[in-house]
Amino acid sequence: AAAGYTFFTVDPGDHVDDEAHTASLPDLERKFAALPWADLDSSPADLRARFLGSTFELEDRQLQFDEESLLRAAAKYGRAVTHAARMYRHLDSVLDRPWELEVSVDETATPTSHLEHFYIVSEMRRLGVRWVSLAPRYVGSFEKGVDYIGDLDELRADLAGHAAIARAFGPYKLSLHSGSDKFSVYPIAVEETRHVVHLKTAGTSYLEALRAIAQVDPALFREIYGLAFERYDEDRRTYHVSAIPARAPRPDTLADDQLPDVLDQFDAREMLHVTFGSALARYGTEIKSTLRANEDAHYAAIEAHFDRHLAAFAEGADGN
């Protein structure tokens, strides 16, 4: 905050109880009873009164909670709601300028249902939180640096429900986290959100910088790529990825002019993506000096990458 930032993302994923997604009813009731009700400024009875026995009208759909679905939503996300509210109040107390908040619950093991999304935003609004963007965990898989893995028709239906909730409570933007290179998703997201969508892309700019390095300094790229094989099993632990190193081409099997194409191979791309920290720790000086000495190649790779993302959004917008 002191550095002048005006946009903050709160990720309460560590406070999401994924076990509540499939817990037995007795376990669910115990989790529900153990929620921090004082922090939620509520009680089990009050929560039931707010949600049970009502039909919530959302454009072309209706949402209704029963006892079990309400307990699952609260047990799974109740602590995440309190964390988001706590972070919001802290930021509001220290910032003396306009600012915006995004809330992200995408880094979880289980999807965010429409009922759960409704619960999260209902409770955050009741607690005084104001936000401009929210990232649920959608169906399918949004892995790092590669296209969407899953059924696009199922994703469209999922996005449509989330977007209806976002319009009812905002409108606020639906955010696509780990959204880089999800080219099959962008037109659908633009259409279903009616253009109220937020794409976050950062890590793949690093990958495109590596593409430039592969073109101008093959020896350095081979070192970085070899390190990806060495570090992948350790570095992948904090990411949702499915790359299998045995499927990636080995550095010693590739000619120099084949190295840039490594960035287009699924497994190699994910491996290089999640090992970026290890690569920068070991080769950061060399990477930066190579990119500075070859700015034209670097900028051309980044420009082509951004153009491809923007074109996909433009195509989705033109379809409306």
Q: What is the pLDDT of residue 187?
A: 92
Contact between 145 and 204 under an 8 Å Cβ cutoff? The reply is yes
- The residue whose two tokens read 């309400």 is 70
Q: What is the pLDDT of residue 316?
A: 56
Contact between 16 and 80 under an 8 Å Cβ cutoff? The reply is yes
Does residue 320 register a pLDDT over 60? no
318 vs 159: which has the higher pLDDT: 159
Lowest mean pLDDT segment, chosen from 46-55, 64-73, 141-150: 141-150
Q: How far apart are CA 79 and CA 138, in angstroms?
A: 20
Mean pLDDT of 47-66: 97
Mean pLDDT of 97-102: 96
What interhelical angle do 44-51 and 67-94 show, nearest 10? 110
Question: What number of other Cβ atoms are within 10 A of residue 262's Cβ?
Answer: 23
Tens-place pLDDT, residues 164-181? 999 999 999 999 988 889
* Per-residue pLDDT band at 202 (split at 50, 70, 90): confident
